[in-house]
Structure 1
């Protein structure tokens, strides 16, 4: 029998409410907390705890809690693995999502621009992992690659009148 994922992880826009943490996110949260002088409440402790989007600038508060023998780059990598996860991106992309302080208290709504960015990241993760179904409608068009953006800029420069290339 094929195991199905919870419906809360199917799409950032299909559901509202908190995104429950899975084993992966709890493991990543534990890795972050192991690097700090004290655990931070914004991170999930057990499976099913909500994944909460970080407040803007929260990195500076987290960095202050870094154990002296641990490098900042180690903390940055561990934090990056958590915030670039699929579940975190879904949590940010939800219509009713709020940003939270280090204690897990909601302080501000996620901006529309950040919500859109999270939706695009989620879609690119699905495509990268081969989860996107061929012929299925995506929430958003895939963002252009860096190569495509450079090519478009060069073509635009050639088309601009009065500029020699």
Structure 2
């Protein structure tokens, strides 16, 4: 129950680590299936922390690629993971650290990277409508909100 309420909070206000769900574990399993050995930074099971990658981690992961697998397949699998909502939440979290291939912290996430991840995370919320608070009874709109709503409806009508 508490996890659902936490998911709607901004990643910057949450103090707990971002934990992997089944979706993230499936993505990391796909990455590890392309490699000669699993890498420690990826969550192995539901509830493991999602950790931001160290800059340049690709140079450590690329040599582990199985000979019969294409580099582009690995790039796509890694991109699917690092562009996910939970990964972006982990990067956007205040005080988050980047980790090496074994999962050891190496440096803090830069403010620029944190802000970029936060804007991506907010983009996810805007697309699925989860950024709008759900209230039991609709409140009366303020005059400003009523004007804004009327203007938006005018823009939506085809000319």
Regarding TM over 0.5, the answer is yes
**4+ residue segments displaced more than 6 Å:** none
RMSD of the alignment, in Å? Answer: 2.0
TM-score (norm 1): 0.76
Distance 2:16 2:97 in 1: 10
Distance 1:18 1:9, change over 3 A: farther
TM-score (norm 2): 0.78
Runs of 5+ consecutive residues of structure 2 not aligned to the other structure:
134-159
**1:123 paired residue number:** 122
**2:113 paired residue number:** 114
Instruction: Give CA deviations for 1:109-141 in whole Å, capped at 9, x if unaligned.
Output: 00000000000010111112232317xxxxxxx
Distance 1:129 1:104, change over 3 A: same
**2:99 paired residue number:** 100
Deviation at 1:17, TM superposition (A): 3.4
- Say how many residue pairs are matched: 134
Distance 2:117 2:72 in 1: 23
Match runs of 1:74-153 below 5 Å: 74-133=73-132
Distance 1:82 1:9, change over 3 A: farther
Task: Give the SS at the match of 1:50.
Answer: coil
**2:24 paired residue number:** 25
Runs of 5+ consecutive residues of structure 1 not aligned to the other structure:
135-165
**2:44 paired residue number:** 45
Deviation at 1:68, TM superposition (A): 0.7
Distance 2:120 2:127 in 1: 10
